[in-house]
Amino acid sequence: MLEGHFLLSSGLHSDRYLQCALMLQHPDVAERLAVLLYQELGRDRDIVNRVTAVVSPAIGGIVFGQEVARVLRTMTGRDVRALFTERDDAGTMVLRRGFTLSSDDAVLVVEDVVTTGKSTREVMAVVSGAGAAVVGVGCVADRSGGMPLFEVPFHAVTAVAIRTWQPAECPLCAQGIPCVKPGSRKQLR
């Protein structure tokens, strides 16, 4: 957990930032987190029994998505692929690098941190556009404050309550504290 003044990929400002990459750099920690998400998903056996692919947004979700797919494959004995979306030159989320999905695929969208769900919904649109079905969403940390963000089941390893503000209402901006953007998504204006 970083403390300071942060511009989130959602456009909101915050005084704390959960940098999951610092946890996920350790394979044993990434594996434990994926097992915890698998156990959380176990409450909804339909997801676990249907998933054929895990799709994550680049860059933050790639490591965790790969690990979740590996754990699902190990625990279920079924082939579960790990794919990721990334932004093209226009800033649109797309599948590239030869990744494909079909109507036979049941997809679990996996993120590191969910705040507003914007990136997750973009990934869900890519999956649906490819003809596959999104059967659930999973993440390491849910920062949404319990907001219903998706029309499919949503599971998180943990929920984290961190204050956020619109830029115009940010007390840190009012104090003149410089704002930094530690995430991977470029701010779209």
DSSP string, 65-120: HHHHHHHHHHHH-S--EEEEEEE-TTS-EEE-TT----TT-EEEEEEEEESS-HHH
Phi, psi angles (nearest 5°) of residue 162: -130, 130
Average pLDDT over residues 111-120: 89
Q: What pLDDT shows up at residue 163?
A: 87
Give the tens place of pLDDT for each residue, 42-89: 877 888 889 999 999 988 899 999 999 999 999 999 999 999 999 999
Q: How far apart are CA 114 and CA 109, in angstroms?
A: 11
Residues 170 and 108 in one domain: no
Whether residue 188 is predicted with pLDDT greater than 50 in this model: the reply is no
Residues 109 and 73 in one domain: yes
The C-alpha angle with vertex 166 and arms to 137 and 91, in degrees rounded to 5, equals 55
Residue 189: inside a domain:
no
Q: What pLDDT shows up at residue 37?
A: 96
Rg from Cα positions in the chain:
17
How many domains does one find in the chain? 2
State the residue for tokens 């594996």: 31
Residue 9: inside a domain:
yes
Whether residue 9 is predicted with pLDDT greater than 80 in this model: the reply is no
Residue 170: inside a domain:
yes
Residues 102 and 174 in one domain: no
Q: What pLDDT shows up at residue 51?
A: 96
Residues 107 and 134 in one domain: yes
Residue 47: inside a domain:
yes
Residues 124 and 172 in one domain: no
Residues 112 and 28 in one domain: yes
Cβ neighbors of 148 (< 8 A, separation 6 or more) are: none
> DSSP state, 128?
H
Confidence of residue 183 (pLDDT cuts 50, 70, 90): low
Whether residue 136 is predicted with pLDDT greater than 80 in this model: the reply is yes
Confidence of residue 129 (pLDDT cuts 50, 70, 90): very high
Residues 70 and 89 in one domain: yes
Q: What pLDDT shows up at residue 89?
A: 92
Q: What pLDDT shows up at residue 168?
A: 95
Residues 111 and 123 in one domain: yes
Whether residue 182 is predicted with pLDDT greater than 90 in this model: the reply is no
* Mean pLDDT (the chain, rounded): 90
Q: Residue 158: helix, strand or coil by DSSP?
A: strand
Residues 42 and 3 in one domain: no
Residues 7 and 55 in one domain: no
Residues 109 and 142 in one domain: yes
Residues 2 and 46 in one domain: no
Residue 112: inside a domain:
yes
Q: Residue 41: helix, strand or coil by DSSP?
A: helix
Whether residue 189 is predicted with pLDDT greater than 50 in this model: the reply is no
Strand order in the sheet with 106-114: 93-95, 81-87, 53-57, 106-114, 133-142, 154-159
Task: Note down the domain range covering 10.
Answer: 1-18+166-184
